[in-house]
Amino acid sequence: MKRKKLIRNILMIALLGITIMFFTNVIFAANMAKVTVETANLRETADEESRILVQLSLNDEVEVLQKQDNWYQVKTKNDVTGYLREDLIEVSGDVEEAKTNQEEVKNEEELAETTNQVTKAPEVETSATRIVKEDTKLKIVPTINATDIIDVKKNDEVIVVETIGDWVCIEKETTKGWIRADKLMTVEEKTKQDEEAKAKEEAEKQASSEEQQKQSTKTMYANSTTVNVRKEMSKESGIVAQISQNTAVEVISEEGGWYKVKVNGKEGYIATNLLSNEKTQVTTSSRGSTGTRREQNTNKQENAAPVANPGKGATVVETAKKYIGYSYKYGASGPTSFDCSGFTSYIFKQHGISLNRTAKAQYSNGVAVSRANLQPGDLVMFGPSVSGINHVGIYIGGGKIVHAANPSRGVTIDTINSGYYNNNYVGARRVL
């Protein structure tokens, strides 16, 4: 009898335990829910415009605390408490409606404040314009492995919508997506970056220009007893310095019958006819009278109309044309860039003929030929006068020359029957 009673007591206790476990599981299940969408925003309050605390993914489980209208107050596994819309989760069982008395509201506010202190992260101001630092892609959710939406390019302007931790939701035109905060910069930062880049570019350009100028300079010598270094390219311009015959100057560039020079630490301009590549040999005869006799002899030689060598002239022209399109560089004499006299010297040297280096000096090479008797291969000189010759080219026939024109055009072909070359024609020399 006692044995039966003992067995009955054990069975009742076991049944009671099973019943308690069953109801405990039912109660626990009734307080749990699963996320039913790919991404669900857990918000600070029961409001669509409220700040996002975290984002939950499909099948994430949360503990349901209470229901408020069409929102559930829930707690995540990481103990972050917030609100989810009822259409974003599936709740097992019934949930008690939230109390609305003032004490309950106060408790919720205190709880939200505590949550903010735990989860608050640096934020980017919403509605602010930001600049994309580099090419990247917008993500559908704020995770590295999330699906890409669209490409955003470096320097694109976007609008900030909201932030979560290190991620920023931005709007580009009509598309919204997520991007890492470190891939954005402010308009002010972009402006400063552009200014620094521009300053660097200008500095590099200046350094390059100075280097090119340094490489293109050459030394020439004053060929008159006294030579004025002027402030501007004009005989009426002020005098910067005066130099004596055979004084060496550094020639920087040439333009319009003037050399830009540097001498004794000063920069200025000297007419091209007042400088030579070599020092002047001083004789008992005056330089002026020598020049006069030379011009008189030139006129006599032109009248003589020397016989041309058409075959060799055509060969020289053919060689010269091969260099059309090559660059112009002051002081250069080949093989990839030339100034005017450097070009003629280089071409004729290939045919065994040595010419003086400058256009003015080449006017003393060979014999003079009249304009009416020009033949292919003749040297043609230009300038304001015989003493001011500043350009030379090779006649190719048909009233045209091939020459190293200037830095912008390089080696090219021009007519001498109109424009500048017609108006500044000085004479021609036959060296073949």
Task: Count CA atoms within 13 Å of residue 2 on its CB side.
Answer: 0
411-415, strands of its sheet edge to edge: 367-369, 425-430, 379-382, 391-397, 400-404, 411-415
Selecting among 391, 400, 429, 430, the annotated active-site residue is: 391
Q: Is 391 a catalytic residue?
A: yes
Residue 382 DSSP class: E
Q: Is 403 a catalytic residue?
A: yes
Selecting among 40, 160, 164, 340, the annotated active-site residue is: 340
**Residue 306: both structure tokens together:** 């020397």
Burial grade of 203 (CB within 10 A; 0-12, 13-18, 19 or more): exposed
Q: Which of 188, 253, 248, 184 is nearest to 214 (CA)?
A: 253
d(CA 26, CA 4): 33
**Residue 80: both structure tokens together:** 């972050």
Selecting among 139, 230, 260, 403, the annotated active-site residue is: 403
d(CA 202, CA 213): 16
**Residue 301: both structure tokens together:** 């030689």
Instruction: Please name the residues in contact with 378: beta carbons below 8 A apart, sequence gap of 6 or more.
Output: 308, 313, 369, 394, 395, 428, 429, 430
Bridge-partner residues for 259, per DSSP?
254, 270
Catalytic residues: 340, 391, 403
